[in-house]
Amino acid sequence: MRLLVSVRSADEVAAAIAGGADIIDAKEPERGSLGAVDAATLRAIADSIPDGMALSVALGDLSDPGEVTRAVVDIDGITRRPRELYAKVGLAGVGEPRPARRALEAVTEAVRASRLQPDIVVVGYADYERAGALLPDAVTAVASDVASRGVLLDTWKKDGGDLFDWLSPVELRTWLERSRHQGLLTALAGSLAGPSVRDAARLGPDILGVRGAACDGGRWGVVTEGRVRELAAAISGAGTRPGSCVKATSG
């Protein structure tokens, strides 16, 4: 299992890596649960990570296709392609499988036409009714249909609750198993902190994502080495096996 830490600037990268982050995720929390950073910030973040480090980039939700399109273009501004490069696309505002599939196909075409060709990770929401999004199992099906690299289950609205306020451990484990059976990389996030980090880790996703728990001052604060180190230790001590995935990473 790998720890993903979301950063909003290059200034936070060193602390995340020193604390034990395996994946750096570029995201602007002021723009929502999957807000994209601007092009200059993304280049600075990418330039700050060492060779061999994985980079994830939030593109936004398909309820704002213009934002997603702009973010795909911004990825090509990165100076050098990381060994692993992921682009996260959310499904807020797209509550039916057919339009979700069409929208994701359009994103996939744009990504394949791009210079750096990141692997797409489709983001579903545990609070899908509030997000106007697909049910988690439908997210898996659509992601598999459009040959995405993986799926992430997050929370859409950041209002003090976490992933387990919306789905039980049994429901989450079942979703992870079904997604992995489809050959998808699996990830969990959603305002995880304290005991919920360990609870999520015990479910065995391939990746566990955090922002607020890695910061002094919550998700709008600043990532610190100490907080990331505590999270890495909690995951390491959760006693889980790494998730297995079938599809090979491109690039």
- Give pLDDT tens digits along the chain (251 positions): 999 999 999 999 999 999 999 999 999 999 989 999 999 999 999 999 999 999 999 999 988 877 788 888 999 999 999 999 999 999 999 999 999 999 999 899 889 899 999 999 999 999 999 999 999 999 999 999 999 999 999 999 988 899 999 999 999 999 999 999 999 999 999 999 999 999 999 999 999 999 999 999 988 999 999 999 999 999 988 764 444 333 333 33
**Cβ proximity of 46 and 83 under 8 Å:** no
CATH class of 2-236: alpha beta
Among 88, 157, 158, 247, the one annotated catalytic? 88
Among 27, 157, 158, 247, the one annotated catalytic? 27
How far apart (Å, rounded) are the C-alpha atoms in residues 136 and 166?
Answer: 11
How far apart (Å, rounded) are the C-alpha atoms in residues 199 and 193?
Answer: 10
CA 167, 187, 30: angle at the middle one, nearest 5?
A: 85
* Longest alpha-carbon distance in the chain: 44
231: enclosing H helix or E strand: helix 225-236
Compute the chain's Rg from CA coordinates: 16
214: helix, strand or coil: helix
Quick check: is 157 catalytic?
A: no
Quick check: is 88 catalytic?
A: yes
How far apart (Å, rounded) are the C-alpha atoms in residues 67 and 87?
Answer: 13
**Cβ proximity of 36 and 6 under 8 Å:** no
Identify the pLDDT of residue 239: 61
Residue 244: alpha-carbon gap to chain centroid:
17
Q: Which amino acid is at 18?
A: A
Residue 86 DSSP symbol: E
User: What sign does the CA torsion over 132, 107, 143, 193 have?
Assistant: negative
**What is the pTM for the complete model shown?**
0.92
CB atoms within 10 A of CB 39: 16
**Cβ proximity of 22 and 4 under 8 Å:** yes
